[in-house]
Amino acid sequence: MPIITAVLLPGRPQAVKAAFMKAVAEAAASSLGAPLETVRVIIQEVPHEHFSVGGVAKAPPGSG
């Protein structure tokens, strides 16, 4: 049973996340030869202030 975790910053609409999870599950099933119904996809949303690039925290959209 493949379990795939994607870490995203918050702010995307639920429909976009659902489409992403479907596409990832289908890609995993196809490339691994696993039945689609056994593929698990988990999205973890990390607050912008808990994520940094080059040591600088990401700012939430619209904050700067």
Which residue in 2, 13, 35, 61 is the catalytic one?
Answer: 2
Is there a catalytic annotation at residue 47? no
C-beta separation of 2 from 28 below 8 A = yes
Cα 10 to Cα 62: distance, rounded to the nearest angstrom: 13
Cα 57 to Cα 23: distance, rounded to the nearest angstrom: 29
The residues annotated as belonging to the active site are 2
